[in-house]
Chain A
Amino acid sequence: MLLAFLQAYWWAPVVSLGGLLVQCTQPRPEVALMLLVLTALAWGIPLACLWAQTRTVLIGCDALPGPFDTLAPDNTPAPPPTLEPHPTPALAPDVWECLPAIRSTVEEEVEHIAEAVTQTRGILRDAVAGLHQSFHGLYNQTQAQHQLVVSLMGDMTGQTTTTPSSHLTMQQFTEATSSLLQYFIDLVVNISTQSVETAYKIDDMVRQMDGIFALLANIKTITDDTHMLALNAAVEAARAGEAGRGFAVVAAEVRRLSQHSRQFSERLRTQIEELKMTIAAVRKVVGGVASTDLNVSLDAKGRVDAMMVDIKKVNERIAQSLQEISTVMHQMHTDVEVAVRALQFEDIISQLLHYTEKPLGTLRCLSTALGEAAETNGSTLLLSLGTTLAHRREEGQTEAHKPVAQTSMHAGDIELF
């Protein structure tokens, strides 16, 4: 750096040395004073220029754009600016060689980005369409399921009018069973009543037969007396001799008749005895019919009544469950609505991705310009590039800063299509 300085302001040390020589050869105070002034001037001017240069360099460093900083392969700084700026500053040759590489890199990467963006949009669109379909399908299926459950429960509790008449609900079945049981109990009581009445009638019959026995006893007495009478008559007839012969025959006939009578009443008695035994057997049978143990019926009726209570409970549970299912269905509806609304993110993201095309276009423009500049080696093109980019940036800023203002998914109404 010092060498360059000396190269530029060579006359300053020469003047000072010359002055020193003159002073040594001609030691006069006036000359010495003049030489001092001259030396001061000679060193003062370069120092001032150096000072001005440093200031300019410092200001120039702030204004320099960033990209070109790293591209300078050599460490030599730009030459210090002169008092009149050059209209088109030249770039180092190494920087020119880089331009094609820059151009191709930018072009390639821009294409990669564009491809990725397109792919993203395509995948997003397909995925969201699939999700839409899925959610709508899910909602329809749950609707159908709900209908099925409602109709099934309606059938079970007999509340629907579409139930065919041959199908009984549990409740109807239990009621029918209960009334059937009651019918049979009443039947049993009825049969028992009639059987007891029959038993009473049999008692009456037996009493009447005892009356017949009493009468039979009378007959026996009468026949015994008749028999005795006939014997007496025969004895008297024998004592009467020839005159009583007719009487003896009559007496013998009477005796024979009384014997018949006795046999006859004997047979009557036997018959009635047998009748009595038969009637006793009948009474036993009737007794059996009259006595039915009702405990079994009691158990059955009790169980049917308990079943009715259970069915009532089941019906209540069904009604409650239907309520709960309704609530669940509403909740599901709400959830599906939320999901569909959330899917609207696709629109927003699609827009956002679409807006990457502008910046990518700008980059493509930049790479083309760089390429052209590299080919023609003209720095004027680079300058015009700077203007073009500035113009494009201005254009970009007149539009909304962010094309899509929405930052969260909660804003906005939902559209179910």
Chain B
Amino acid sequence: MALVTRTSLDGKVVTIDISGRFDFSIHREFRQVYEQDQGTTQYLINLRQTEYMDSSALGMLLLLREHAGGDRANIKIMHCQPEVKKILTIANFHHLFCLD
């Protein structure tokens, strides 16, 4: 599975593990994670296994942020590989998200 979701016990923190290619092919699954509003206060995107990211992934992340409240959103992108980190940096995502 390219995308695995884990929720904390109290349901407030949702962790999304993405492996392989983070691109348009998983856009439906990605949306399903947050479509139903379950009172999540924090999202943790785990990119340790992510080998490749394209612009649609950036779009998905931005839409998640919009859904989670825009500037009030609490989203952390963790364990980026160097290539992935470079892409996040040139898109200025370090100003919008918490990059690990």
Contact = CB atoms under 8 A, between A and B. Distances in A.
Binding between chains A and B: yes
A294 B28 contact: no
A188 interface: yes
Interface string B54-83: 111011101100000000000000000000
A199 interface: yes
Contacts of B55: 188-189, 191-192, 290-294
* Interface SS of chain B: helix
A189 B56 CA distance: 8
A297 B59 contact: no
A101 interface: no
A387 interface: no
B80 to A, nearest CB: 14
A200 B67 CA distance: 13
Given A193-B62, A196-B59, A301-B90, A294 B54 contact: yes
Given A192-B59, A193-B59, A195-B56, A186 B86 contact: no
B54 A189 contact: no
A294 B54 CA distance: 6
A294 B53 CA distance: 8
B90 A193 contact: no
B56 A294 contact: no
B12 interface: no
Given A294-B90, A301-B90, A189 B58 contact: yes
8 contacts: A191-B55, A192-B56, A195-B56, A195-B59, A196-B60, A294-B54, A298-B87, A302-B86
A251 to B, nearest CB: 50
Nearest to B30: A196
Contacts of A343: none
Contacts of B23: 291
A203 interface: yes
B66 to A, nearest CB: 9
A182 B90 CA distance: 8
